[in-house]
Structure 1
Amino acid sequence: MKKNRYTEEQIIGILKRHEAGVKTADLCREHGISAATFYSWKSKFGGMDVSEAQRLKAMEDENRGGELSLHGEALKAVIRKNGWSLPV
C-alpha cells in the first residue's frame, strides 16, 4: 500500500487556503500535486475539520479489518465445502 505524502491535517490546511481565496493552480504548483488530486481531496475532505478527518480514517481502517476477516471466513467455508483440510 502506498504511503500518503500528506497527512489529513495538511490536506485540510491546503483546502482551507483554497476556501480563503488562493487559486487552485497556485496551490497545486506550490505543493506538487495535480488538479485531479486536489479535487479528489476536496470531494473527500471538503468542509471537514481535522478531528472529523481523523474519525473518518479510523472508521475506514476498522471497516478494512472487517472486510479481511469476512474474506478469510469465506475462504475457510469454501475449503470445508470442498473437503480440503485446513492447515494447522
Structure 2
Amino acid sequence: MARKRHSDEDVLKLLREIELKLTGGSDVASACRSVGISDATYYNWRKRFGGMGRSQLSEMRSLEKENGRLKKIVAELELDKLILKESLNYLKPRA
C-alpha cells in the first residue's frame, strides 16, 4: 500500500474528526479506520499536534525555520573557529 503524506493542516483536520467520533461514542480503532489512518498514526499525531490550533501550527513552523537558520549560523561559526585555530597553531613559533 502506498504511503500518503498529509499536510499539517490535514493532520489537524483529521484529528478533529477523530475527536468528534470519539465523543460520539466510537472507539479509537473504528474512528481511525473511518478517516483512513492507523491507530498508531493517530497516537503519533496526537503526541505531536495534540491541542494545537492553526495559529500555533504556523508559530511552530516559523520557530522550526528560525531554528534551522540558527543551526546553520552556528555550524558556520564553528568552521570559522576551527580554521582560525589551525592558522594560529601554524603561525605559533615552535621552541
- Alpha-carbon distance, 1:79 to partner: 1.5
Match of 2:57 in 1: 53
Within 5 Å, which residues of 2 pair with 1:73-88?
73-83=77-87
- Alpha-carbon distance, 1:28 to partner: 5.0
Match of 2:43 in 1: 39
TM-score (norm 1): 0.73
Count of residues paired in the alignment:
80
More displaced 10-residue stretch of structure 1: 37-46 or 70-79: 37-46
Contact 1:8 1:50 in 2 (8 A): no
- Alpha-carbon distance, 1:29 to partner: 6.7
More displaced 10-residue stretch of structure 1: 53-62 or 20-29: 20-29
Q: Give distance in 1, aligned partners of 2:44 and 2:12.
A: 12
Higher relative CO (Cα under 8 Å, sequence separation at least 6) belongs to 1
- Alpha-carbon distance, 1:24 to partner: 3.5
Q: Give distance in 1, aligned partners of 2:41 and 2:50.
A: 13
Q: Give distance in 1, aligned partners of 2:53 and 2:80.
A: 41
CA RMSD, Structure 1 to Structure 2 (Å): 2.4
Match of 1:18 in 2: 18
Task: Provide structure 2 residue ranges, at least 5 long, that are not aligned to the other structure.
Answer: 89-95
